[in-house]
Structure 1
Amino acid sequence: MGNPIVSDRGADIDRTLAAGERFMADLSRAMVTLACALGDRLGLFAALADGTARSADDIAGRAGVDSRYVREWARTLAAGGYLEMDPSGHEFRLPPAHAALLADPGSPFYVGGIARLIPPLAAMADRVADCFRSGAGLGPADYPPAMYEATWQMSAKWLRAMLLDQWVPLVPGLAEKLAAGARAAHLACGSGTALALLAQRFPASRFEGVDRHELNVGRARREIAEYGVADRVTVTRVADFADGLSGPYELVMAFDSLHLAADPAAVLRRVARTLAPTGVLLLLETHCSTEPHENVGDVAAFLYGTSTLYSVPLSRTGPVVAGMMGLPHPVLAGMCADAGLTVPQRIAAPTPFNVLYQIRKA
């Protein structure tokens, strides 16, 4: 018989080596993600979008940056498998599959802006570590403007692609009500893009946006002015998530934000009081399971990590700290029932991260 202790040690060593390989892969992914964030921010992917092989000097000239930095950046992404590099190591090509993801904001597969969330979130590690120790929370203004700028970029893309031509038509009668003239509100309105798009399409209606962060309020007001719809849209800074709602509204929107509220159940009760009898709440929330052991894999790790650095700190002082994965359908359904609302009806799943619900008065 073999020595079981030696055998177990060998298995432990193999598992440790495998864990080390995984850790090295994750370190590589972190550097590749940072490189993608730089590439999106500086226009380096755009300089490679046509699929032509280019030198670092050529890429730098097109993007208006320094070529020595570009060469190191390009070799990082070539090492990570994102760029093709010629044998000399001096010319680089962005393959079409990666171009659709990283270089073409008009592509339905474009995800380049997501990478830009990582640097500002990483910059919050020290502040969040202090929150771990104290149990305190943070406010929206504690986070770098770059994080909100990345969020504006991402949300504008999918709102322009989906809100008017996909989501609104999924709700029976909503387009007709807005065309005839109705009131609508957007909680945590962010950049104001949703309000601007709706106001431009439905000039007879009036729209209200509320947000807790002055940076978002300023951006929303600029967006609304640029769309030429300031005469029918107001944006107000509020202290709490659902402050400022008066109603009655035919439409209330909350997109990827209810889990950031200190008390999501109280928000739903407030919405129920302000919805018109025929009104609808369009709620975009994280697609997840009630069972934590089912929320695993790369997408779940990204969402939990973002929640640790952002969602939990923003809601830590409230009675319910949902986190980004804390409002799965059964939990939402219970909150809606208590608030006098219907069971959330799933009408779309626009991304691997999200589910869109319509909710009405019970």
Structure 2
Amino acid sequence: MADLSRAMVTLSCALGDRLGLFAAMADGAARSADDIAGRAGADPRYVREWARTLAAGGYLEMEPSGEAFRLPPAYAALLADPGSPFYVGGIARLVPPLAAMVGPVADCFRTGAGLTPGDYPPEMYEATWRMSAKWLRAMLLDQWLPLVPGLDERLSAGARVAHLACGSGTALALLARRFPASRFVGVDRHELNVERARREAADFGVADRVTFTRVAEFADGLSGHHELIMAFDSLHLAADPADVLRRVAGALTPTGVFLLLETQCSTDPRENVGDVAAFLYGTSTLYSVPLSTPGPVVAGMLGLPQPVLTGMCADAGLTAPQRIAAPTPFNVLYQMRRAS
């Protein structure tokens, strides 16, 4: 019952984020369902049932009348303000589109086949855009780049940068705005992501120096030599991660760096337990494994721990992955270079 309850609370959180219900309660005042509905442009009867769900789950405080509800400040920072550094509300919005894929993934269980990015609902990508934009804006320029000595200076002078599985394009748009002398290319297997990335570049006013291309395979389109190549929370989706690393090694300058964000996990599955691991394994079952099947290496979301990456990098001609940050409980940021 606890797990079933959490499932319903998660779906309610997804609704609250999507409809702006949490934002309507962000000031911490006790509000009736009618008041919340009026602020969010929703129907009061639906809002009342939603609020009672989250009050029963401990997310909202219910007034003694049972008719007014309050979002505590700590929860508001997590759920109501996408600009907050603590905001995690968008994560819940991954669950409904993943749940919608249970049928197609069940067929994959029976056949051993895989799926393509276009098989998944657009709402899933919209949720990832929303979440990734937050941490990229907070971390990429001012926290991650300074961890690589000299990188800021080389990008300021003018260099080539590539982003594999570029998603919404936010990372390259941020970099292009900061480093106008450099040139940037993003590749992605999903046309929806490429279209979104092009809009992002236009919105940032950097479309003249950023190019986005749809590719068939993860590292297609990676040509020439780059001062910076990035892959954030995506290498495990490649059908052949080892081949991607070989291609990255061949596309780096002698001073170039590969920034890789991957799942924080152990080589021993007995150590990958608990709520975070269950969430990641479940997401991997419904998304990561289908997208990388029938590749020669179906890593899954927890299939590239540091020791495994170290072996792949050695074979690919890259230095061992150096851990330079752990930005979330889910991830580790590594840097690699061409092996001498």
TM-score, length-scaled by structure 1: 0.93
> Is residue 184 from structure 1 mapped to residue 192 from structure 2 by the alignment?
no
**Alignment partner, residue 145 of structure 1:** 122
Q: Deviations over 1:70-91 (max 9, x none)?
A: 0000000000000000121110
**Alignment partner, residue 71 of structure 1:** 48
Secondary structure of the corresponding residue to residue 184 of structure 1:
strand
> Is residue 237 from structure 1 mapped to residue 204 from structure 2 by the alignment?
no
Aligned match for 2:152, one of 175, 183, 189: 175
Please give the residue correspondences for 1:1-362 in structure 2 after superposition, counting only pairs within 5 Å. 24-362=1-339
How many angstroms apart in 2 are the aligned matches of 1:178 and 1:231? 17
Secondary structure of the corresponding residue to residue 314 of structure 2:
helix
Deviation at 1:107, TM superposition (A): 1.8
* Amino acid corresponding to residue 180 of structure 2 in structure 1: P
How many angstroms apart in 2 are the aligned matches of 1:285 and 1:98? 28
How many angstroms apart in 1 are the aligned matches of 2:43 and 2:331? 38
Question: Which runs of at least 4 in structure 1 moved beyond 6 Å after TM superposition?
Answer: none
How many angstroms apart in 1 are the aligned matches of 2:286 and 2:64? 41
* Amino acid corresponding to residue 316 of structure 2 in structure 1: A
How many angstroms apart in 2 are the aligned matches of 1:231 and 1:109? 34
* Amino acid corresponding to residue 314 of structure 1 in structure 2: L
Deviation at 1:225, TM superposition (A): 0.4
Secondary structure of the corresponding residue to residue 253 of structure 1:
strand
* Amino acid corresponding to residue 157 of structure 1 in structure 2: K
How many angstroms apart in 1 are the aligned matches of 2:303 and 2:200? 31
**Alignment partner, residue 20 of structure 1:** none
Deviation at 1:105, TM superposition (A): 1.4
How many angstroms apart in 2 are the aligned matches of 1:202 and 1:109? 28
How many angstroms apart in 2 are the aligned matches of 1:350 and 1:336? 22
Deviation at 1:247, TM superposition (A): 2.2
Gaps of 5+ in 2: none
Deviation at 1:104, TM superposition (A): 1.5
Q: Deviations over 1:169-222 (max 9, x none)?
A: 110000000000000000000000001000000000000000000000000000
* Amino acid corresponding to residue 102 of structure 2 in structure 1: A
* Amino acid corresponding to residue 142 of structure 2 in structure 1: D
Secondary structure of the corresponding residue to residue 208 of structure 1:
strand
* Amino acid corresponding to residue 152 of structure 1 in structure 2: W
Gaps of 5+ in 1: 1-23
Secondary structure of the corresponding residue to residue 74 of structure 2:
helix
How many angstroms apart in 2 are the aligned matches of 1:108 and 1:225? 25
TM-score, length-scaled by structure 2: 0.99
* Amino acid corresponding to residue 214 of structure 2 in structure 1: R
How many angstroms apart in 2 are the aligned matches of 1:360 and 1:145? 35
Deviation at 1:153, TM superposition (A): 0.3
Deviation at 1:106, TM superposition (A): 2.0
Deviation at 1:44, TM superposition (A): 0.2
How many angstroms apart in 2 are the aligned matches of 1:221 and 1:155? 16
How many angstroms apart in 1 are the aligned matches of 2:147 and 2:18? 34
